[in-house]
């Protein structure tokens, strides 16, 4: 059933965990549906009231057979954002926006965006569907990084697994990344943190000078 997706992302917006928090989608207990979680890998989920409230905008959707978006009515719960139920045969996506952050006086404010993907087992290779996307190739443990629809080479990723608490990987020149060992059953995560571009603008009336993109792919090996 549904146990894989993406999720994403790690960066120093939060004083509690500058480089250890990720956002992902997982199957909720008792097959209640899919939820977007935020936590340090292997630790307790963030809650509301609390750091879960740092996300001011969360959306989730899937695609039908004609690649038309079917958007979920996202509802914030105590320890997740509830997306809904899916049949487990199609990818599911999520995007989350933080408020604009000004961390250093000598650096421009940032507008952080997170992108998440869940690709069920047996669906083969995926195709890019978000501004930043870690897309399964159909080969076990292999994915390709895309940014604005084009392969992104050389980017650094973090890899988490039942055997590894954190390991740095790098996509090759064509954007391919390969997990070193996925032989043990359990949960796995590939994450890109804070890929920044000088793209200024406004969000909720607040100006920023940089746009920060984070993405991840979360899946389960049975």
Q: How far is CA 143 from CA 53, 58, 102, 133, in A?
A: 31, 24, 33, 10
Closest CA to 190 of 213, 170, 212, 163: 170
d(CA 147, CA 145): 7
d(CA 13, CA 52): 12
Please, are residues 119 and 5 in contact by the beta-carbon 8 Å criterion? yes
Return the number of other C-beta atoms located less than 10 Å from residue 56's C-beta. 12
Tokens of 28: 């909720």
DSSP state of 203: E
- Mean of the per-residue pLDDT values for the chain? 86
What is the pLDDT at residue 20?
63
d(CA 207, CA 202): 4
How confident is the model over 190-203, as pLDDT tens digits?
999 889 999 999 99
65 vs 140: which has the higher pLDDT: 140
Q: pTM of the full predicted structure?
A: 0.86
Could you tell me the end-to-end alpha-carbon distance of the chain, in angstroms, rounded to an integer?
11
How confident is the model over 5-54, as pLDDT tens digits?
333 333 333 443 334 688 888 888 887 889 999 988 888 999 999 989 98
What is the pLDDT at residue 64?
82
How confident is the model over 72-116, as pLDDT tens digits?
999 999 999 999 988 778 889 999 998 888 877 778 999 999 999
d(CA 70, CA 140): 28
């Amino acid at each position: 059933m549904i146990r894989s997706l993406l999720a994403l992302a790690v960066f120093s917006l939060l004083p509690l965990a500058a480089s250890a928090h990720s956002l992902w989608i997982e199957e909720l207990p008792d097959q209640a549906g899919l939820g977007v979680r935020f936590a340090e890998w292997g630790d307790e989920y963030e809650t509301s009231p609390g750091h879960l409230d740092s996300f001011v905008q969360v959306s989730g959707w899937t695609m039908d057979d004609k690649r038309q978006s079917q958007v979920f009515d996202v509802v914030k719960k105590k320890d997740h954002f509830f997306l809904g139920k899916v049949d487990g045969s199609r990818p599911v996506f999520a995007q989350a926006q933080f408020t604009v952050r000004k961390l250093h006086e000598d650096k421009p404010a940032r507008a952080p965006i997170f992108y998440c993907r869940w690709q069920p087992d047996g669906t083969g290779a995926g195709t890019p569907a978000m501004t930043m996307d870690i897309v399964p190739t159909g080969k076990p443990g292999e994915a390709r990084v895309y940014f604005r629809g084009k392969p992104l080479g050389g980017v650094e990723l973090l890899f988490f697994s039942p055997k590894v608490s954190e390991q740095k990987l790098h996509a090759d020149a064509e954007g391919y990344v390969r997990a070193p060992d996925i032989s043990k059953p359990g949960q796995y995560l590939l994450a890109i943190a804070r890929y920044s571009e000088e793209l200024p603008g406004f969000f909720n009336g607040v100006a920023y000078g940089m746009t920060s993109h984070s993405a991840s792919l979360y899946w389960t090996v049975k």
